[in-house]
Structure 1
Amino acid sequence: MSEQGLSIDVNGVRTNYHDRGDGPPLLLIHGSGPGVSAWANWRTVLPVLSERWRVVAPDILGFGYTERPAGAVYHPDAWLAHLTGFLDALGLDRVSVVGNSFGGALALRLAVEAPERVDRLVLMGSAGVRFPITPGLEAVWGFEPSLAAMRALLGWFTFDTAGLADDLATIRLAAASRPGVQEAYRRMFPAPRQAMVDTLAVAEDRVAALPHRTLLVHGRDDQVIPLSTSQRLLDLIPDAELHVFARCGHWVQIERAARFAALVGGFLTADARPRPHAMMSR
C-alpha cells in the first residue's frame, strides 16, 4: 500500500482514504504533523488491526492527498463535518474510533457531538483539553520546510530516533513540500498557536458526560502533548482507563507498534467493563 489509497466524494471534497479488512468498522484519525497522512500515521498498525476489523483511515480535510478546496476553512467544526460526511459516504452509522493527538481531539469531539455514532473510543497522545502549548507543539505547528527542521521534529516526536527509518525525514519533508500543502498548513496553525490548542478543546462538562468506554494511551516522555492531558481525560471520562508507555514519546503507534496494536485489540474486544485505572509499560 501507499499514501494514496481510494478516493471518495465527501460533501464535494475528493477525499483520500484507506479501507482494509472485514469485521466491525474502526475509524483511525491521524495527527497534525507536517507531511502527515493517514498512511504515514497508521502504516505500522493498520495491517494488524485490519486482520480483525474493517479499518477506514481518511486524510482529513487539508491533509495528505485529500483535496484542499480554495477558500477552505480549517476549524474543528469543518474537520468534524468532513469526518461525519466521510462516514455517511461509506454508509457507516456507528464505528469505534482511534484518534492520535489532533486526531484524538477530533475523535473526542465526534463522540460528544454524535455519541450514537461512536462505539468505543481510543485516544492516543490526545489533545482535546486545555493545556499550555509545549515547545514541541510550537515546533510542529510552526514548521517551515527544510531537512534540518524535519530532522529536528523527529526528535520532538520520539523518545529515541535511532529506531526510525533513515530516510523518514526526507520522505516526510517531500510530503510536506508538495504544492499547496505548506500553504494550507500555515493557515491551519497561525500564531499565536495557543489559540488552536484552546479551540480544539472540548468543554469539560461534556467530556464528563461521555457514555463511551474509553482507552487513553500516552508516552510518558511525550514532548508534544503532555501526559497531563490524558491524566485530565482520565479524571473526566466516567468509563476510562489510561495506559502509559515509559521511554516513549508522542508516536506510540510507531515506537511501540506491536504493543499498541495488541492493547487496542484487547480493549476493543473485551466484554467485561474495566475498572478505571492507570498502567505503566516499560
Structure 2
Amino acid sequence: MRISLGDVSLWFDVSGPSVLPQGDTTVERPVLVAVHGGPGLDHMTVKPALEPLAADLQILYFDLRGHGRSDRSSAESWNMRTWADDLRRLCDALGLGKPVVLGSSFGGDVALTYAALFPDHPGGIILANTTGGHWDDPRGIEAFGRVGGPEAAAVIERVRTYRRDGAAADAEDLQAEFIRVCYPLYSVTPGWAEESRRFQARMIRNPDVAAHYDTHEVLSFDPWSLLGAVRCPVLVLAGEDDPVCPLPVVEELAGQLPADTTRLVRLPGARHTIFRDRPDLTFPAVKTFVAQIGESHHAS
C-alpha cells in the first residue's frame, strides 16, 4: 500500500488486525510503528524480527523516503530531520494519535530525532539495538574485536574511515568484506548466516542513499544534540554483546534521556539481533511498554 504525504509517497504494510471481535463487541488492538535499519535498506530489516508481536499488536511497517518501495525523492531530502518529519506526517495521515514508535538500529536514530523534534507527538518510543546516531564511537571497533577478533576490528576501522572521509576506491570490496567478516557476528543464535542471507536477498537496497548519508549528512547532525527535548516515555533495549551498538554507548544515551520516563533493558547474551537472540526478554518488554502507554493515554 502507498500513501501520499504531498511531496512524497511512502509505501507501508501492516501485520495483524487492528480490531478483533469479542463477544457482542469489538476490541481495538494497539499499533506499533516500526522504523527499519539502514541507511539504504528497507523494512525487511525489521519485519522478520518483529512478526511474532503481531499476535498481540498491529505492526505498521514502512519504507523511509529514498528506501525500498517508497519514492526515492531527491538526495537533499535524505537526512534525519526529513525522515523524522515524514514519520510524523505518516502517523497523522493514518490517524495514529500518540503513536508508539520502535526504531531498530539506524531506525532508532530516526525515532529519537522524531521524538526530539516533535516532543508532543509520540506516545512513546522504543530504541532497539541502536546508539541513536553515535556510530563512530571507537568502542565499536573494540566490541567487534571482542566477538570477531583482529580481522573484524580491522574491517570496522576501515568502514568507519570510509564513512568519515568519503568515497574510497575499493568501496565495493569493503562492503563485501564487511558482509563476509562482520555481518555473521550480528547474532549468536544458530542459523543466522542462512537466515540473514535470505532476508538480504529479499531486501530492496538503495546504495545511493547510504553513500549520500554517510558522506554528506552523518557528520552534520547528531540526534544526541536534541536529547533534552525528548519528553515521551522511552524504552531502550540493548544487547550486552552487541558489537554494532556497544552497551556502554547505549548506557550513555539512556543516561542523557529523562530519568523518570526512560527504562533501559540490558539483554544478556544478545548481540545486534536482539529479537532473535533474546525473544524471551525483548517481546515481553515491548508488549508491557505498549500496554502502559495505552493505559496512560486512556487515563488522560
Asked if TM exceeds 0.5, the reply is yes
SS at the partner of 2:85? helix
Amino acid at match of 1:37: D
Number of corresponding residues:
257
Q: 1:247 to 1:163 in 2, by over 3 A?
A: farther
1:151 to 158, 180, 200: 180
1:167 CA drift (Å): 5.4
Task: Give the AA of the match of 1:44.
Answer: A
SS in 2 for 1:55: strand
The answer to whether residue 169 in structure 2 is matched with residue 182 in structure 1 is no
**Any stretches of 5+ residues in structure 2 without a counterpart?**
19-28, 142-155, 164-170
- The structure carrying a bigger helix percent of its residues is 2
Deviation at 1:234, TM superposition (A): 2.6
Seen in structure 2, the aligned counterparts of structure 1 residues 260 and 87 have a Cα distance that, compared at 3 Å, is same
The residue aligned with 2:69 is 65
Q: 1:174-201, CA deviations, whole angstroms, 9 ceiling, x for partnerless residues?
A: 636x5xx22232112128xxx7267242
Question: 2:38 matched to 1:27?
Answer: no
% same residue: 19
Cα distance in 2 for residues equivalent to 1:137 and 1:247: 24
1:128 to 117, 129, 132: 132
1:220 maps onto 2:240 in alignment = yes
- Residue 210 (str. 1) matches residue 230 (str. 2): yes
String of CA shifts for 1:58-92, please: whole Å, max 9, x gaps.
11122222221244531111211221221122122
| Unmatched runs of 5 consecutive residues or more in structure 1 | 1-5, 274-282
- Contact persistence 1:127–1:200 (CA under 8 A): no
Does structure 1 residue 172 correspond to structure 2 residue 200?
yes
TM-score if structure 1 supplies the norm length? 0.77
Q: In 2, are the aligned partners of 1:151 and 1:169 still within 8 Å (CA)?
A: no
Q: Scaled by the length of structure 2, what TM-score is found?
A: 0.73
Name 2:284's counterpart in structure 1: 262
Residue identity matched to 1:42: K
Which residue of 64, 74, 81 corresponds with 2:78? 74
Pair 1:44 & 2:72 matched:
no
Greater CA drift, 206-215 or 259-268? 206-215
Pair member with larger Rg: 2
Determine the structure 2 residue equivalent to 1:280.
none
Q: Per the alignment, do residues 200 and 251 of structure 1 end up closer, same or farther by CA in structure 2, a change over 3 Å counting? A: farther
